Amino acid sequence: MMDFSIRSRVDELMDDPNMELPTLRQAYEDINRCNNLLGGDAITINGVWKLIKKDKHKSYTILDMGCGDGTMLRKLSDFLSKKGVSHSMMGIDLRDDVLLIAREESRDFSQIEYRKMDILQADSSFSCDILINTLTMHHFEEERIDAFLEQFVTLAKIGVVINDLQRSRLSYNLFKVFSFFFIRTQVAKTDGLISISKGFRKVDLENLAKKIPNVFHTIQWKWAFRYVWIMQINQPSDR
């Protein structure tokens, strides 16, 4: 029986850099369908809006660490455009094949660009107003998370929005049922379960937050079995 008291260290199938591009595309289609049905993307969008809504006339730079196929950036860009908020965005990922998909799908979004690089190697030229990290932190091994979070806070001027999975037996078993009906590829079915086993409990995130001083932290549970962690940097707590 799986032990949900600790984070799994099993690699996901999509972490294989040699996965064929058509298989990767199909898996992302499944992931995006899952997020649409369960409202996962809205969690990040609402988190960003919380950080900027009191000054929506400013132009914002947004950095997506681990951008994947760029779906989150495109949805966020559409949302901000409808709100009349000027913005420019950059997605960072380590995979050429993933960035190929992101660039193809973002052809109509001139305000979005993509770079291949390790976020830990990003210097001050990559500073941004808001940094987002959606369903990516659970890929980090335990001993690497602190370094990534420190870099997030260093690069972001206003805040950081992290959206990731809750690790629990209930979410794991419910995903099995959900995937039977709504997910087509075996890759996405398998990786969904692995992702949950690598996810977080609230106490995990609270302990990580304690290591980041002088930042206002908000950690909330969201449906469906997500946590959103918003860090407000140099901002009053009631922003």
Q: What is the DSSP letter of 55?
A: G
Report pLDDT for 237: 47
CA distance 231 to 55: 17
Look up tokens 């086993």; give the residue. Answer: 197
Residue 199: count of CB within 10 angstroms of its CB: 24
Mean pLDDT, residues 14-38 taken together: 95
Ordered domains of the chain (ranges, CATH):
25-233 (3.40.50.150)
Q: Indicate the angle between helix axes 21-38 and 96-105, nearest 10 degrees.
A: 60
pLDDT digits (tens, 9 = 90+) for 153-177: 999 999 999 999 999 999 999 999 9
Residues 81-124 have pLDDT tens digits of 999 999 999 999 999 999 999 999 999 999 999 999 998 898 88
Average pLDDT of the segment spanning 48-52: 97
pLDDT at 235: 57
Chain-wide mean pLDDT for the chain?
95
Q: What is the pLDDT of residues 136-153, one digit of tens each?
A: 999 998 889 999 999 999
Name the residue type at position 136: T
Which of helix, strand or coil describes residue 217? strand
Residue 130 CA, distance from chain mean position: 13
Token pair in block for residue 59:
């132009």
